[in-house]
Amino acid sequence: MKITTRVLAVAASTSLVLLGAACSSDDSGSSSSGSASEAMTSESMSSESMSSGSMTASAMADPAANLVGPGCAEYAKTVPDGAGSVSGMAQDPVATAASNNPLLTTLTAAVSGQLNPQVNLVDTLNSGQFTVFAPVDAAFAKVDPATIETLKTDPALLTKVLTYHVVPGQIAPSDIAGEHTTVEGGTVTVTGSGDDLKVNDAGVICGGVQTANATVYLIDSVLMPQ
C-alpha cells in the first residue's frame, strides 16, 4: 500500500516494554515490536470473556445495528458495499478489515510496517478481541510532519502511539462512555453519548463498526499518549 501523506496510528505493547525499548538499532526495534505483540496477545486473551458480554446479538446479526456518530451516513455513502463497507468489514479481522477501508489507508500503513519496517502489528491485531479507536486519513493530516519523521525511525515511540488506540476486549457503544485502560498502559476517556462521543479530544465520526474480532470507532484526530 502506498503512503501518500502523513501516517501514524493503532496496535500493540505495554508502557514498560516501550519505555525500556532502545530505538537506535534494528535488534532493539525487533525486540520492542515482538514484546509488544506478546503483551497485546496476552491482554486480549484475558479479556475475551469481557468482550462476549459487550457484543450484542443484534450487532452480530446486523453489523449496522449499533452504529453511532454523525459520520455514519457519509461513511455508508462513501463506501456503500465491498470489503471496506460496514457489512464487509464485519467479515474480516480488524487489521485486514481496515486495509480494505479507503478511509483508513494511513492507519493501515502505520500498523503494517510501511511507515516503520520494525513495527508490524497486523498478526497481533488480527488475533484476540479488541476495541480500536481508528483515526481516519484526515486525522493524520493534522499531525506535525516532524512527528511523522520521528515515528519513521523510532519503533518504540510508534508502537506506544499505536497501542494507545487499542483497548483489550470489545466494547459496544452502549458501554463505551467512561475511562478505559489501553494496551499501551495509559487511559483514554470517552465522554458523551449517542451520536456525540469524544475519545479524549477526538470526535467519534462513526463508532460501533464491527469486524470479526473487534469493535471499531472511527475518530477525527490521532490520540497521543502522555
pLDDT tens for residues 93-145? 999 999 999 999 999 999 999 999 999 999 999 999 999 999 999 999 999 99
pLDDT at 19: 32
d(CA 8, CA 116) in angstroms, rounded, equals: 10
Quote the DSSP letter at residue 120. Answer: B
d(CA 115, CA 7) in angstroms, rounded, equals: 7
Name the pTM for this structure.
0.79
- Tell me which residue of 99, 150, 137 sits closest to 222, measured CA to CA: 137
pLDDT at 226: 84
pLDDT at 61: 73
Please report, as a single letter, which amino acid is at residue 115. L
Could you tell me the mean pLDDT of each successive run of 10 residues in the chain, 226 residues long?
37 35 41 54 48 49 92 96 97 98 97 97 96 98 95 97 98 98 98 97 98 98 95
How crowded is residue 113: how many other Cβ atoms within 10 Å of its Cβ? Answer: 15
| Bridge partners of residue 191, in order along the sequence | 198
pLDDT at 187: 98
| Bridge partners of residue 198, in order along the sequence | 191, 203
Query: Are the beta carbons of 163 and 41 closer than 8 angstroms?
Result: no
d(CA 153, CA 149) in angstroms, rounded, equals: 7
